[in-house]
């Protein structure tokens, strides 16, 4: 079961959750290696990734267009 947003950089939906040591967790795109913010719980790491994906998608539509044009 995966409810990650697609990667804002490459469009992949193949995400993995990694842990740093005992505590820190972060989500990484398996295809391009983009990673989300490090958080103390898997839920927060997932939420952070989705927030970042939303922000990047908004940037893409509003101004830059660099993400889509590179595909």
C-alpha 53: how far from chain center: 5
**Nearest approach, Cβ of 67 to Zn ion (angstroms)?**
10
Q: Distance between CA 37 and CA 23 in Å, rounded?
A: 13
How many CB atoms lie under 10 A from the CB of residue 34?
A: 19
By the rule CB under 5 A, 26 interacts with Zn ion: no
By the rule CB under 5 A, 4 interacts with Zn ion: no
**Nearest approach, Cβ of 62 to Zn ion (angstroms)?**
20
What residue ranges bind Zn ion (CB under 5 A)?
A: 7, 9-10, 12, 29, 31-32, 34
């Amino acid at each position: 079961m995966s409810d990650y947003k697609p990667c804002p950089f490459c469009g992949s939906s193949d995400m993995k959750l990694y842990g740093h040591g005992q505590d820190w967790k972060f989500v990484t795109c398996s295809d391009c290696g983009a990673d989300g913010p490090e958080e103390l719980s898997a839920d927060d790491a997932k939420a952070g990734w989705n927030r970042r994906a939303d922000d990047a998608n908004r940037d893409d539509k509003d101004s830059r267009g660099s993400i889509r044009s590179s595909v």
